[in-house]
Amino acid sequence: MANDESPAAHGTSRLGWLALVPALILLLAWWTTAGGDRILVAAWPWIPSLGISLAFRIDGLALQFILLIAGIGTLVFIYAAGYMAGVKQRLRLFGALIAFMLAMLGTVSADNLLLLFVFWEMTSLTSFLLVGFKHEKAAARRSAQQALMVTAGGGLVMLAGFIMLGAIAGTYSISGLIATAPNWLEHPALPLALGCVLVGAFSKSAQIPFHFWLPNAMAAPTPVSAYLHSATMVKLGVYLMARLDPAFHDLDLWQMLLVGFGGLTAAWSMLLALRERDLKRILAWSTVSALGTLTMLIGLPGAVAPGAMAAFLLAHALYKAPLFFVAGNVDHCTGSRSIDDLAGLAPRMPWTAAAAAIAAVSMAGMPFSLGYFAKHLIDIARAEGGVFVWAGYASLMVGAVSVAVAAVAAVRIFWHRNGRPVPVQIHEAGWAMRLPPLLVAGVGLAFGLQPEWLAPLLDHSAVAMGGALPSTVLGVGTIGLDGLTGVVATLGAGLVIYLGWDRLHRMLERGFPLIDRVGMVAHYERLLKAIPASGAWATRRLQNGQASTYTLMAAGFLIAALALVVLIASPPAVAPMSLPSGTLPGLIVIGLGAIAALLVRSSLLLLLASGLVGFGSAAVFLFLGAPDLALTQFTVEVAFIVMLVAILLKTGAFRRGVRSERPRPLRELARGLIALGGGVLTFWMVLAGLSGPEDRTLIDYFGATAVPEAHGRNVVNVILVDFRAIDTFGEIAVVAAAFFAVLHLLQGLKRKKETPR
């Protein structure tokens, strides 16, 4: 896979000075928090009516992420200055990197769930721009679209979980939510809220079933891959789970989901790494495996698991970022990332080979490396987990494949000749591309030799997650016989996998076609195809140009919305009511008219049947003590029927038959359900309103003022003509406008009818 960025051979872009931005943030974070475990808190009102504030809180966990974001970011900016030298659009890349870095910093320091969501989605948007940097290429556009749909879509589900959590806990403050957790952990809606939150976290950190998007994001330039997909953005889901873990750590559901999905992701992604030939994709699958391990550690019970998670989080960033840099250097200098085309590069690229070797030692978990220190803590955490010991059974396979991946990145492409001559035009990368991988890998090596230097940082991070860093594992003298035995076993298995990499690759390629057809990538592609297909189907069915369809949709939506409001409002129970005996005949007439309107096919009979409903209502009004309303109903009903019959006779609608169209069972069923739903909803709302407490304020006011102020004893007429005269005038104007519009149409029909054919 050739690198077509066309960078300058050894040039360095002057935009490299932007590395001062993350460097200053790094120094500021270290200076403000060094020498103690104090927590920095700041808050400003944002949307007080909703309980949302611009609240920030930096504790040990947030500090560790801030140091990673700023520290790795500084070297990524330096590396990008060399990698993107000569690329015309490099300013756009640097701008997106800065925006992404600020969004990351906001996410890990936010102390409000909704504020965290805002920054969370900003990281998705900026990563979309970074992954799709080479937007002229279809592969880059597809990868960026996939990353955005998975991570941003998961973020929207997570927002629903945040809203539910806020409603359950009574606060959107993360620290407040953790402090009050024991009071609401038994809430019945909590499992649903946690499920929504974990969908967002899993999608961001590429956990099964969302694991497929991360390797496809390798279409991004190498600085982006090293920053977003190894050290920062993909760990946001891990950060969110670690941040909320003190609140939910004792829930069996939380532990089972994190340990189960994390362990499965760690093992499955390492198996998928054996299928790859592209160096960046191999590293990407190993990153997915590391994210699964981190997720599993958060779910493990015990006090050591948080410290193990903090140590492995740091170790992974310090060996995976330089390995991505190495992959970028190889791509830059050879024009390929395929391990089939790369061999014996160490004599021509000694500095890159040295960085790869140092990082690979830590990735393989060799003694005196930070990777060994982290994996030693992981073993202790798994042993402490007790009932979850089964989750560690796959650790040997995961560790062995990690050794094989490290050997591929550091040995196969640099020291294994493979019987091929190394082209003489291959050269070492410039200083801006050599320095970052050496520095990051060197820092990891120094921390591996002196892990006690990390004790304050890791301990404060573990405390923020509700755990502690055991002091007995600090120092190089902690390597015991059991640890060496595990290292030897892992090394041996990893060596076997490394030597048989090509054979295993061929076996998996033959055995995986069926899995490819039913895997998540296939489902994602089917979903993409189903979206426009379902949209076209819905358009054909709903936007068909028929007024009756639009009326049904509008009525259905209105009824559904009102029903939802009624259910949420929880109206009072309907009290028993007694009606005058004389109302029964009227109610019977109303029922008969409604049933007849559903059954008759003749237009005239349909009109008369609907008229029965109006006459029955007038009879009910009469016996309820409202003769004036009954008289008005009778008058309006008679006038309406006579007028409508005259119009329909004039237009010949009776001869054509209003309801002569071919019956459609589904349409008739929809009409019936909407009519039934509207009737039931209206009946329920009326009864609920009548059963509520009576407010006589308006009744007494109109009764007392009708005669002296409006000079009328018919209160209903007085309200319509005097008290609400403007409303009545507006209604008359609307009816008049409708009449003149219909009159014009009727005149047109008359002219058409009189025109000889």
Quote the DSSP letter at residue 423: P
C-beta separation of 215 from 285 below 8 A:
yes
Over residues 338-345, mean pLDDT: 81
Judged by phi (left if over 0) then psi (alpha if -120 to 50, else beta), residue 35 lies in left
Strand partners, 278: 338
SS3 361: helix
User: How confident is the model over 584-621, as pLDDT tens digits?
Assistant: 788 888 888 888 877 777 777 777 788 888 888 888 88
Continuous segment of H or E residues that includes residue 714 = none
pLDDT value at residue 653: 60
Q: How far apart are CA 349 and CA 330, in angstroms?
A: 9
Q: How far apart are CA 125 and CA 122, in angstroms?
A: 5
Question: What residue segments make up the domains of the chain, in order of their start?
Answer: 14-511
Q: How far apart are CA 302 and CA 248, in angstroms?
A: 13
Which range (258-267, 303-312, 324-333, 732-741) has the least confidence?
732-741
- Per-residue burial over 638-651, b = 16 or more CB atoms within 10 Å of its CB, e = otherwise: eeebeeebeebeee
Q: What tokens appear for 727 in the block?
A: 């409303």
Site of tokens 């945040």: 162
User: Is pLDDT above 50 for 5?
Assistant: no
Q: Which residues touch 163 (CB under 8 Å, ≥6 apart)?
A: none
In angstroms, the first-to-last Cα distance of the chain is 74
Q: What tokens appear for 87 in the block?
A: 């690329």
Residue 567 vs residues 133, 164, 190: alpha-carbon distances, Å:
48, 18, 21
Number of other residues whose CB lies within 10 A of the CB of residue 709? 12
Ramachandran angles phi, psi of 54, nearest 5°? -80, 80
Who has greater pLDDT, 338 or 295? 295
> What is the pLDDT confidence band of residue 740, given thresholds at 50, 70 and 90?
confident
Residue 151 vs residues 146, 190, 295, 388, 506: alpha-carbon distances, Å:
8, 23, 17, 29, 32
pLDDT value at residue 162: 92
Which range (45-54, 733-742, 746-755) has the least confidence?
746-755
Q: Which residues touch 174 (CB under 8 Å, ≥6 apart)?
A: 57, 110, 111, 112, 113, 116, 243, 244
Who has greater pLDDT, 125 or 536? 125
Q: How far apart are CA 267 and CA 274, in angstroms?
A: 12
Strand partners, 55: 43
Q: How far apart are CA 380 and CA 378, in angstroms?
A: 5
User: How confident is the model over 9-35, as pLDDT tens digits?
Assistant: 456 667 778 888 888 988 888 887 665
User: How confident is the model over 414-430, as pLDDT tens digits?
Assistant: 887 765 666 667 778 78
User: Is pLDDT above 80 for 353?
Assistant: yes
pLDDT value at residue 530: 81
In one-letter notation, the amino acid at residue 424 is V
Q: How far apart are CA 548 and CA 674, in angstroms?
A: 13
pLDDT value at residue 569: 62
Over residues 551-558, mean pLDDT: 85
User: How confident is the model over 259-297, as pLDDT tens digits?
Assistant: 889 888 888 888 888 888 888 888 988 899 899 989 988
Q: How far apart are CA 84 and CA 603, in angstroms?
A: 76
pLDDT value at residue 511: 64
pLDDT value at residue 662: 57
Ramachandran angles phi, psi of 662, nearest 5°? -65, 130
The overall average pLDDT reported for the chain is: 81
C-beta separation of 413 from 339 below 8 A:
yes
C-beta separation of 105 from 69 below 8 A:
yes
Percent above pLDDT 90 for the chain: 9
Q: Which residues touch 329 (CB under 8 Å, ≥6 apart)?
A: 349, 352, 429, 433, 434, 437
> What is the pLDDT confidence band of residue 119, given thresholds at 50, 70 and 90?
very high
pLDDT value at residue 99: 92
User: How confident is the model over 655-673, as pLDDT tens digits?
Assistant: 555 444 555 677 777 777 8
Nearest Cα residue to 109 out of 172, 37, 162, 40: 40
Continuous segment of H or E residues that includes residue 618 = helix 603-623
C-beta separation of 84 from 16 below 8 A:
no
Over residues 130-148, mean pLDDT: 85
> What is the pLDDT confidence band of residue 394, given thresholds at 50, 70 and 90?
low
> pTM (2 decimals)?
0.75
* 694, burial (CB in 10 Å: exposed 0-12, middle 13-18, buried 19+): exposed
C-beta separation of 408 from 500 below 8 A:
no
Q: How far apart are CA 499 and CA 153, in angstroms?
A: 41
- Cis link prior to 209 (omega < 30° from 0)? yes
pLDDT value at residue 633: 81
In one-letter notation, the amino acid at residue 124 is S
